[in-house]
Amino acid sequence: MAYLGIDTGGTFTDFILFDKDSGAISIHKVLSTPDAPERAILQGIADLGIETTGLLLVHGSTVATNAVLEGKGVRTAYITNRGLADVLTIGRQARKELYNLQPEKQPPLIALELCLEVESRLNAEGEALSRLSDSDLEKLRDQIETLKPEAVAINLLFSFIDDTEEKRIEAILPEQLFSSRSSDVLPEYREYERGMTTTLNAYVGPLMQGYLNRLKQKTPGSRLSVMQSSGGTASAHHAGRYPVQLLLSGPAGGLKGAQFVAEKSGFDRLLTFDMGGTSTDVSIIDRRIGFTTEAQIGGYPVAVPMVDMHTIGAGGGSLASVDAGGLLLVGPESAGADPGPACYGKGDGAAVTDANVVLGRLLPAAFLGGNMQLDKARAEKAVDAIAQTLGMQRYEAASGIIEVVNDHMVRALRVMSVQRGEDPKDYTLVSFGGAGGLHVCALAEALQMTRAMVPVNAGVLSALGMLAAEPSRERAITLRQVLDGCDQESVAEHYEQLRKLAEQELREIAGDCETIVEYSADLRYLGQSYTLNLPWSEPEKLVEAFHRLHESQYGHRMAIEVELVNLRVRLLGERPEFDLPEWQPAAESQPGTTSVFGIDEPVPVYARDTLNQGQCIDGPALITETTSTTWISPGWQAHVDHWGNLVLGVTPRSRA
């Protein structure tokens, strides 16, 4: 039996194949096909020579994400209470630029003519002030038939207390319409966030369902699962029903992969950065992956649980430019997969990848294991254009491009660590993604870190994380009470209802299996707007735990009652029988040498698959592999551990 992890990125689609019988792992990359992502997947499957019958295929998809970012979702109608049709447009009135008095308005996700109001209202206690009549429902059905949407989002006030009216509306909708109820997608308070999350789910739902159906049809006999933003997998059916839970699908796979591989090497406190072709995702793992319900995608709030990370437009394909004042800029514009960096042979703009080629850190003949020859002359021409504008030499401009993109990533890493009161020196910097290994030493030095790691198969670690992930299901509900003296019987009843619902859904995803149940709660000081999440325990202990966490996060605690806001349940099933094989070199080492700008002596070049367990390599050195290249800077040393991970540390001389 074989397991195949697939991560569709902006530039490359990554594959990692695990043969359960032999324990062998195979990796592969192909250029992504953004217009039809399944084309790249089918090409990779063909290249690997895989028979799809009996194949477990775990996929990280960008279909929903790209539809939101590009504003290319389906025609969607929004149904809400009388007088509240413009809630999604008004939002929170938060401005990206606080002192800009004429901010550029973001166009509404749903046009006003597609926002419908109904005569139904509950009060804050869930008591009915007015109910929909049969004639109201008939009128609503006529409006829907006239508007001809492809999807409908339903968001009524306090439906998380009583979902009867939302279900009545859903029942009268035509069967061919994709419907999304807020009481199902996100039964929590905050009408705007709940409405926007529900609407995004409807907005991309038909697209996701269509894509997954096409992929299933073209991989006959396979069992298709999809990575969720929360770091667990779901069935294709479930993913198509709740596509809003897939908006960080690929990055979540990367975090899961980093945690899985690092734990093998004995590291559980990680500062991670995933540098791909288009963007870099940074996160922090303090023994467990962190989650947030306050993420934004394309400027829209998405309040379902997602891995907690910070994303910037800095990747190997990020383009360099010079502004009107003569300042060198890098990103967020990217060359993407087509035309790609200049060295790919089509583009003309100077990308970060081109700068690394010019500096000698990326070897044209070793890219993708020699399967794709880079055009160094074209990269030099692109960098020369930047150098001429800046009035400097080629190598100075290339070095400047690297320094600028490194500074972007250092600032992002500080957001996830220093700005949260965490000292980066207490963590191990874990680099992955196709471009990460070229920058890991420089970023660690900038953060004064002395430990770093480039995992085995780092260039396809997000795909590896797909195979390391358990099937999961999360459910939550709002239950606002003062924590001290709360109705514990009511809390227990709600937790049990959530557990049963999540268990039923998990069974649809993974069948009958052993499960792990995690109970947590969102808490805040009475009168606050935002919450902190803590594992559930006795209220007295939970109050003190909240005070300590608040003080750790914000530097103070308050003599105010603590309020329970949301109850959360997370169920984890059994992950596939995937494991890393012990590292064994594939061939004898025959290191070569190359010239790297700034290094006087020839720099040794090692093929990663020829390295031995326990081998140490002093920088400067280049370590090449099929999916990435690692630059070991002067003053750093790489050690090959039991699993083939490169564990990096400063050399004793540098430490002194």
SS3 category, 54 = coil
Peptide bond just before 620 cis, omega within 30 deg: yes
Domains of the chain: 1-50+248-469+593-656 (no CATH), 76-204 (3.40.50), 470-572 (no CATH)
pLDDT of residue 337: 66
pLDDT value at residue 654: 53
**What's 60-109 look like in SS3?**
ECCHHHHHHHCCCCCCEEEEEECCCCCHHHHCCCCCCCCCCCCCCCCCCC
**pLDDT in the model for residue 314:** 85
pLDDT of res. 99:
86
333-369 pLDDT, tens digit each: 888 767 889 999 888 899 999 999 999 999 998 887 7
Nearest Cα neighbor of 276 from 434, 405, 408 is 434
Report pLDDT digits (tens) over 159-188: 999 999 999 999 999 989 999 999 999 999
Residue 106 confidence (pLDDT): 78
The helix/strand/coil state of 247 is coil
Residue that the structure tokens 């303090």 belong to: 286
232 CB contacts (<8 Å, ≥6 apart)? 469, 470, 471, 472, 473, 572
Looking at residue 312, its pLDDT comes to 85
184 within 8 A of 205, measured Cβ to Cβ: no
**What is the mean pLDDT, run by run of 10 residues, along the chain of 656 residues?**
87 87 86 86 92 91 84 94 92 80 83 94 92 94 95 96 95 94 94 95 95 92 92 91 91 92 93 87 91 86 91 87 91 79 89 94 84 89 94 95 95 91 93 91 95 91 91 92 88 94 84 86 92 92 93 88 94 86 84 91 93 93 90 95 94 61
Which pLDDT belongs to residue 107?
82
> At 640, is the secondary structure helix, strand, or coil?
strand
The DSSP secondary-structure symbol of 418 reads G
Residue among 469, 501, 463 nearest 573 (CA): 469
Tell which residue, 470, 492, 514, 507, has the closest CA to residue 569.
Answer: 492
pLDDT value for 102: 83
